[in-house]
Structure 1
Amino acid sequence: MDTINQFIVAFTEAWQQADLLFLLGFGLLFLAVWFLPSLLALAFNRQHAGKIALLNIPAGFSWIAWVALLVWAVTGKLSNKLAAKARLKPVV
């Protein structure tokens, strides 16, 4: 219990000593990681980027849902590429 209290005191002191630039950088990094599936969806899967962005807000509270969105954002058009290689009709 004493170790937890020491950690909380050290964390509180470090947070109070943080300057505005650090807090701004931390906030931007936090948001970039939170919305990483949305950012990747814009790069890889423009068809479902709106759906991924909408689901990204509550999914950030669950690591499982966040990772699932991350996989969806990266592999969104993979099925169409595989279907083209196999000469099959693309999945819509």
Structure 2
Amino acid sequence: MSGLDPVQTAIFVVFFFAVWFLPSLLAIFFNRKHLGKIFLANVPAGLSWIAWVALLVWAVTGKLSGKLAKKYESQQVSAS
């Protein structure tokens, strides 16, 4: 007997891919505009922690960057 339970193996595989593609999953909610780019970059980025974390930040800051840009524009208009 090999000691590998098929249920545990399936759970591990699902968990592994969920973590690997976490930036893409977060981009669905936070940065839909760049979802395709994030997904394509996510495939090789999983091999590098630095690239994976950078994608995670990019995926989460999508709506935030838009809000900051609008706030900056409104401050520029009111300062004029």
Q: TM-score, normalised by structure 2?
A: 0.85
Q: Does 1:59 align with 2:45?
A: yes
Structure with more of its chain in helix, by fraction: 2
Q: Could you say which structure has the larger radius of gyration?
A: 1
Aligned to 1:48: 34
Instruction: Identify the structure with bigger relative contact order (alpha carbons < 8 Å, sequence gap 6+).
Output: 2
Q: Does 1:69 align with 2:55?
A: yes
SS of the residue aligned with 2:62?
coil
Q: TM-score, normalised by structure 1?
A: 0.75
Q: Deviations over 1:24-76 (max 9, x none)?
A: 00000000000000000011110000000000000000000000000000001
Q: Does 1:27 align with 2:13?
A: yes
SS of the residue aligned with 1:17?
coil
Deviation at 1:20, TM superposition (A): 0.3
Deviation at 1:88, TM superposition (A): 6.1
Deviation at 1:84, TM superposition (A): 1.9
RMSD: 1.5
Q: Which amino acid counterpart does residue 65 of structure 1 have in structure 2?
A: A
Q: Does 1:39 align with 2:52?
A: no
SS of the residue aligned with 1:77?
helix
Question: Runs of 4 or more off by more than 6 Å in structure 1?
Answer: none
